[in-house]
Structure 1
Amino acid sequence: MTSIADTLSRAAHLIDLLGLHTGDQFADSKSDALDVCAAIYFAAEGGFPPEFSTDEDASIRLIECSAPAMQAIRAISNALDSEPCVTEIVPGHEVPDHIEHVSNWAATAPIGHTAPPTASEVIGRILRTANGLGVLRHTSIAA
């Protein structure tokens, strides 16, 4: 079974290899660059569907259906300095929108900055999160 840390490390490698996409959709059909959540999905599932470059709603549903991708996306979301927005699934039941949180973090300038994080900064945050999870996993195994 692949760990969350391994999935995040592979996602960082994919972004380094293919590029970070921060525009419309979850993938750029011309350059193969991937949104950070699409890269995590690719790392978890071994590929990504064509909908990632054509249908945002279908892409979100596909990502949500991948338990390993969502675990890794939640890990990144939890490592960020901001909180995810909440979405009301059914009346009275709100859940954090981790996909939006992570995608927007990678595509939006932080407060006090004029540009979003660079691909290198996104990769760095992903790898620091993966390394932190790896340390926690090894610490709990040794305990």
Structure 2
Amino acid sequence: MANCYRSMTPNDHAMIAARAPIATGTLVALIGPAGSGKTQFTHGVPSHEVICLDALRAMVSGDPGDQDATAEAVRLQNILIDARLTRSQTLYLDSTNVEVAVRARLVERARRQERPLLAIVFTTPLDICLRRNSERPTNRRVPPDVLR
């Protein structure tokens, strides 16, 4: 069994975590840089359980890469998080969540609703993130120095 784990990529470990039983009403925070595989990972869960910050930016401004729409998109995200947690509905939060302050606010939201929180950290190698980022449409690319 140990040999099997040594040959697995970090995202393989994340996929195993996704198949593990998750308590109903859990806030599952996906954590990782752009291009790490967070959105691809969500394709394995029911779409109504996914709150994607890029999709909310698109709802606000028509462009998922419009960083100027982030504040409004985050307000919508927080409303949706609270609504799902209040109803004990599982949700997967698809945004980078790499900043400590952002994660602290997620912990507080889950605690306030007395709901469990699970973090799935994507440790995809930088060269893969950079390649995936370069393959994105221009409006969705993150500056390479931000990924570094």
TM-score norm. by structure 1 comes to 0.29
Bigger relative contact order (CA 8 A; separation at least 6): 2
Question: Which protein is bigger by CA-based radius of gyration?
Answer: 2
Structure richer in strand, relative to its length: 2
Higher share in helix: 1
